[in-house]
A = this chain, B = another copy of it.
């Protein structure tokens, strides 16, 4: 496909890890060694694939392949889980003729259950069969668990030395399902980038995208974003200007993927774009944005299309950010609703009703305390979310 970065192949298999009749094993193979980077969950309980990835990348920031399975997250699985993870890498590597140390693992699915090694043994060899015919979209579908649509974005970047392509795929959000862990992303690029630069680019992009969204405020045991930059375009990106352009391109791509994650949030009907500016620091801006974006009261108000400035203000007030309460300005959909410690003297309900009906709602705060800034995407909190996540037992 013309949008796919050069030098990557895709493969899928239907192992039957959880459900029959669907692809639940996916592989991305770079035809040559690629700079490899990763951004991982900060949860103290780290799934086996996360631990193994970190180990592999720590030893050598290069890889040939990314593998993903859905069905079992291989989290909270102890020593057996780690051993199984390594064994699956041997199987996959053997199937496509590369070294086991060149494969980075990811898993998503039920926490606490061991991998089904018999099914892995049967399915891994099948990967070779679809290599070259399967598409990036096939892999994006294989990684899905509770997603209602596959998430894939591609971009082209024109540099003086030539064209570079980036493709990203992801699944999930926060920890949105009973035991489904959780958010995975693969970022593929055909630029020739040094590993350290590529890691910095992925980190920068993730901090402004995957790490700047919230569905239910949770970070799972498995959240992982892996990036491969394989140089197959023959365009070397070493200079500051080129790296900056690539960084912006990857960041935008990750932000588009993140937007899709929040759109697909379980039971969600809204995407709130919460921007906090004028904070004493970027960290305080983030604290403030997260307090607002995770507040059940703010999120239920969003669901109800209620421009409830009081809940936003109260959430900001308890966020820990430092500011003068009389200086804060709050805008919803660009309309000033709160300043000088009081609501704006206008008919807010009338002005804001049409704004609140949209899927996308902009909530902007200026704390007038500095230059710190952060933007967070957040979903609303709905009855459907409760239905999905409360496990009714009759």
Contacts and interface: CB of A to CB of B under 8 A. Distances in A.
A35 to B, nearest CB: 29
Contact of A220 (B176, B314, B341): B314
A78 B341 contact: yes
Contacts of A181: 310, 314
Contact of A390 (B301, B322, B390): B301
Given A381-B386, A382-B386, A389-B296, A340 B78 contact: yes
Interface in A276-312: 294-297, 300-301, 303-306, 308-311
Contacts of A111: 310, 313-314
A317 B385 contact: no
B314 A392 contact: no
Nearest to A340: B78
A76 B338 contact: yes
A318 B219 contact: yes
A301 B112 CA distance: 17
Given A178-B301, A314-B45, A342 B76 contact: yes
B317 A45 contact: yes
A44 interface: yes
A385 B383 CA distance: 9
B175 A300 contact: no
A130 interface: no
Interface in A70-86: 75-78
Interface of A: 42-46, 75-78, 111-112, 175-176, 178-179, 181, 216-221, 294-297, 300-301, 303-306, 308-311, 313-318, 321-323, 325, 338, 340-343, 353, 381-383, 385-387, 389-393
